Amino acid sequence: MDAAPTGAASMIPMIHALLLDFDGLLADYDHPRHLRHLADAAGCMPAQVDELLRGEGLELAHARGELDGDALLQALNAHLGSRLSAADWSAARTHASSLRRDTLALLQRLPPDIRVAVLTNNGPLSVAAIAALLPGTDVLCSATVGVRKPDPRIYLAAAERLGSAPARTLFIDHLFRNVQGARSAGLHADTAHHTQSLRRVLRRWHLL
C-alpha cells in the first residue's frame, strides 16, 4: 500500500489526474479466447497465431511502437496465408475482454474535475478496442511513447498528456512492478486488484 497519505488530510497532495491499468483492474482479459477468435478469422489453429504473436515477438514489437497495426497484420497474414483485418483484431480483443462493471461504476463517483485515463502496455490495435469499450475515456498506450510499463518515461509522458504534474498524478495498477515504476517517476501510485481494493485506494486519497 502507498504510505504517502498517512497524515492529516491537509498533508495529502491534491490529485489532478488518475491513471488506471486496464487488464487486471478495469477488465478481465482472456488471452486464449483472443487467440481463438483470431485463429477462427484466419482459418488456422490458435497455437499458430500465438507462435507468431509471442514466439516471434510481433505482439511485443507492436506494443513498443516498432510495428504499427498494418505492419502487424501484414506479418500475420503473410505467415498464415490469411486476410486478417483491424476489425478482426478488434472483435477478437473485445470478445476476450470482460469489463468489471462494479469497478467502472465506482469511477463515476470521482470528482468531476479529476482527469481519468487508462495507461496500458497494449498496442494500437488493442487500444482501439479498449477505447470503444470505454467511450469518453482517454486510452494511452506504450506504443505512442516507445517504452512500456514499468519504464518511468511512460508515466511522465502520460502525466504530460493529461496536463498534470507527476506529483499531482495518481497511478493504480494490479502489478506492483508497474507501481514501482510510477513511483520512481515521481507519481503517486498504489496497487488494486478489484473494486474493493480500488475503493480503499481512492478513499485514502480523498477521491471518494
Q: Where are the domains of the chain?
A: 9-28+99-204, 31-95
* Domain 9-28+99-204 coded CATH 3.40.50.1000: yes
**pLDDT average, residue stretch 74-91:** 97
Residues 6+ apart with CB under 8 A from 20: 26, 107, 116, 117, 118, 119, 171, 172, 173
Fold observed for domain 31-95: DNA polymerase; domain 1 (1.10.150)
Provide the CB-side half-sphere exposure for 108 (13 A, CA).
6
> Which pLDDT score is estimated for 13?
81
Model confidence band, residue 152 (pLDDT cutoffs 50, 70, 90): very high
Residue range 82-96: mean pLDDT, rounded: 98
The pLDDT of 142-169, averaged and rounded, is 95
User: Mean pLDDT across the chain, nearest whole number?
Assistant: 94
DSSP-derived secondary structure letter, 167: G
Per-residue pLDDT at 45? 98
Pairing relationship of beta strands 27-29 and 138-141 according to DSSP bridges: unpaired
Residue 12: the pLDDT is: 76
Assigned C-alpha cell, 85: 483485418
Average pLDDT over residues 58-69: 95
pLDDT at 25 over 90: yes
Residue 174 predicted with pLDDT over 90: yes
Q: What's the mean pLDDT in 36-41?
A: 98
Q: How does residue 56 score in pLDDT terms, banded at 50, 70 and 90?
A: very high
Instruction: Judge contact between 94 and 132, C-beta under 8 A.
Output: yes
Q: Which residue has the cell 518515461?
A: 153
